[in-house]
Amino acid sequence: MSSFSDFSPESLHAQVLLDVARALQEDVGGGDLTAALVPPARRARARVLAREAAVICGAPWVDAALRAMDPGVRITWHVAEGQRCAPDQVVLQAEGEARALLSAERTALNFLQLLSAVATKTATYVQAVQGTRARIVDTRKTIPGLRLAQKYAVRTGGGTNHRIGLHDAVLIKENHIAAAGGVTAVLRAAQQVAARAQFIEIEVETLAQLQEALDAGARMVLLDNMPLPMLHEAVRLNAGRAILEISGGVTLESVRALADTGVDRISIGALTKDVKATDFSMRLQELP
């Protein structure tokens, strides 16, 4: 799988099922000992409430967790995927077997709280650069095993996915340049895998490296930890020849000034790495 932009619904569904199966095995294992205290025929209605404002994300994972425990569960979303919810708003209602709802609760909420947090943070950054040409881009700094889920959340929040992994694109960094013998040499070597890569990007730290990369035919350049004056000069020097991306230490306070330099992309590891889960809770009511 290379990106969510070319995911078929079937491929996305398959990934969701894998994620949910792994999470339920981790949590439920051989059986929910506490839920077994509830009579097996008892039915219930569950309401999921948002305790804070957020961009809702993770519905495919929540639905899959609930249906894995009760295939006949009835699920009604009151806030659509990608839409904002308000504090104390009911975002979801489900009716089904009480035992199943109880067993699926934590897995469903774990996906919802993580992915909504990523989507919400992404949307905040996207809003901060509105009106500029810069797109907000994610990185590979993700929770192991949940990269595709988190990158889905970035897209739901209005962001753009960078490469999914080492297998689908080339990002040449400082160590690659040193090991390969310099900027020009490493870019020439990269052409050997160009047909299999979505893109080839090279990281530079100085204006001299940027000029060398441009002279060697670079079409995508990552400007690493450059101060604002240098970024402005880099954009002028580039003159539209390559896609320019900023990376390194980007914060919500600094992102607008960075976007105003005229770069094309700003990659932010904090979208998926430094995430505070959105607060949701589930409340059950027995059905007659």
pLDDT at position 192: 85
φ/ψ of residue 131, rounded to 5: 95, -10
Q: Which amino acid is at 124?
A: T
* Closest-CA residue to 92 (of 109, 107, 106): 109
Q: Is the pLDDT of residue 46 over 60?
A: yes
Backbone angle region of 240, left / alpha / beta, with phi > 0 → left and psi within -120 to 50 → alpha:
left
CB 53 within 8 A of CB 100: no
Could you list the active site residues? Answer: 106, 141, 173, 203, 224
Across the range 194-198, mean pLDDT stands at 85
pLDDT at position 7: 58
Question: Which band of pLDDT confidence, cut at 50, 70 and 90, is reported for residue 57?
Answer: very high
Q: Is the pLDDT of residue 82 over 70?
A: yes
Rounded distance between C-alpha atoms, residue 284 and residue 46, angstroms: 4
Calculated CA dihedral for residues 221, 224, 229, 230, nearest 10 degrees: -60
Rounded distance between C-alpha atoms, residue 118 and residue 97, angstroms: 31
* Closest-CA residue to 123 (of 50, 218, 54, 175): 54
Q: 201-219: b or e for each residue (b if 16 or more CB lie within 10 Å)?
A: bbbbbeeebbebbbebebe
* Closest-CA residue to 132 (of 271, 263, 245): 263
Whether the CA torsion 206, 250, 82, 282 is positive or negative: it is positive
pLDDT at position 1: 36
This prediction's pTM: 0.94
Which tokens belong to 151? 């990158």
Fold entry, domain 4-126+275-286: Aldehyde Oxidoreductase; domain 3 (3.90.1170)
**pLDDT tens, residue by residue, 21-38:** 999 999 999 999 999 999
**pLDDT tens, residue by residue, 147-158:** 999 999 999 999
Q: Is the pLDDT of residue 6 over 60?
A: no
Fold entry, domain 131-271: TIM Barrel (3.20.20)
Question: Which band of pLDDT confidence, cut at 50, 70 and 90, is reported for residue 2?
Answer: very low
pLDDT at position 191: 85
φ/ψ of residue 215, rounded to 5: -65, -30
pLDDT at position 288: 80
* Domain range summary for the chain, segments of one domain joined by +: 4-126+275-286, 131-271
